[in-house]
């Protein structure tokens, strides 16, 4: 990928969409040579859809099918077709609460990115900030990584720490983590889109 043109991003989300807003803002401010051309959600009233529509970005609810934690086969084909028709260069997961399966991974090889609210490989899975607090670690953080077939296991693009305070609550910690996410996600996407990242197995490095 090079920095000559504006890359087309397709965002997938199930929640309130604060990372979507940070990415859209970075695009508008010229910090990211990209535009969000499509937002898809499995949740009909997800905030991410509302926020995208407010910005005039195409935002669709696509039914996920009959599974709870992933898209079913027919649904997945529709999601892939919609992303391909929109000619997205990169699929960006922004709070998407379903596990991606091989058909979608194969359709966008090394072109699906996720953000996770911990320093992976610590605390994969749900509510990672609560896991960190309950475990008693003193530092947690944020990870941006490429998506592979595992749960929060793909090659890491960027990480940033968030110290845990003695009297933290899950809500306060999550709010601080989210503020870090909103800087880290656009910066990591910019690095990837600039073509300045070499991926060697699990390891990535700046070129």
Active-site annotation, residues? 116
Rounded to an integer, what is the distance from CA 167 to the centroid of its chain?
A: 29
Q: Cα separation of 57 and 81, whole Å?
A: 18
Closest CA relative to residue 115, chosen from 203, 24, 13, 2: 13
Q: How far is CA 112 from CA 20, 56, 147, in A?
A: 15, 23, 5
Q: Check residue 141 for interaction with ligand GRF (CB under 6 A).
A: no
Residue ranges in 97-116 that form contacts with ligand GRF under rule CB under 6 A: 115-116
Residue 18 or 204 with smaller CB distance to ligand GRF: 18
Q: Of 10, 64, 95, 186, which one interacts with ligand GRF (CB under 6 A)?
A: 95
- Separation of first and last alpha carbons in the chain: 13
Give the x-and-dash track for 17-56 against ligand GRF (CB under 6 A): xxx----------------------------x--------
- Contact with ligand GRF (CB under 6 A): which of 6, 15, 25, 148? 15
| H/E stretch holding 38 | strand 34-41
Residue 13 contacts ligand GRF per CB under 6 A: yes
**If binding is defined by CB under 6 A, does position 16 make contact with ligand GRF?**
yes
User: Which position among 10, 33, 64, 117 is part of the footprint of ligand GRF (CB under 6 A)?
Assistant: 117
Q: Is 52 helix (H, G, I), strand (E, B) or coil?
A: helix
* CB distance 9 to 83 below 8 Å: no
Smallest separation, CB 15 to ligand GRF (Å): 3
Element (H, E) at 90: strand 90-93
Tell me whether residue 39 or residue 115 sits nearer to ligand GRF (CB atom). 115
Contact residues toward ligand GRF (CB under 6 A) are 13, 15-19, 48, 94-95, 115-117, 178, 181
């Amino acid at each position: 990928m090079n920095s000559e043109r504006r890359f087309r991003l397709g965002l997938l989300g199930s929640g309130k969409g604060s990372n979507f807003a940070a990415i859209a803002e970075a695009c508008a401010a010229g910090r990211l040579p990209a535009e969000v051309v499509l937002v898809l959600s499995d949740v009909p009233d997800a905030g991410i859809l509302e926020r995208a529509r407010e910005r005039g970005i195409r935002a669709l609810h696509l039914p996920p099918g009959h599974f709870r934690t992933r898209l079913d086969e027919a649904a997945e084909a529709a999601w892939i077709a919609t992303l391909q028709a929109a000619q997205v260069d990169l699929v960006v997961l922004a709070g998407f609460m379903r596990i991606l399966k091989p058909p979608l991974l194969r359709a966008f090889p090394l072109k699906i990115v996720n953000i996770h609210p911990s320093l992976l490989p610590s605390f994969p899975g749900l509510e990672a900030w609560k896991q960190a607090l309950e475990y008693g670690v003193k530092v947690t953080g944020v990870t941006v990584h490429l998506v592979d077939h595992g749960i929060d296991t793909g090659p890491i693009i960027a990480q940033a720490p968030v110290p845990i305070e003695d009297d933290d609550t899950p809500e306060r910690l999550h709010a601080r983590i989210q503020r870090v996410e909103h800087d880290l996600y656009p910066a990591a996407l910019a690095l990837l889109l600039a073509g300045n990242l070499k991926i060697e197995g699990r390891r990535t490095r700046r070129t």
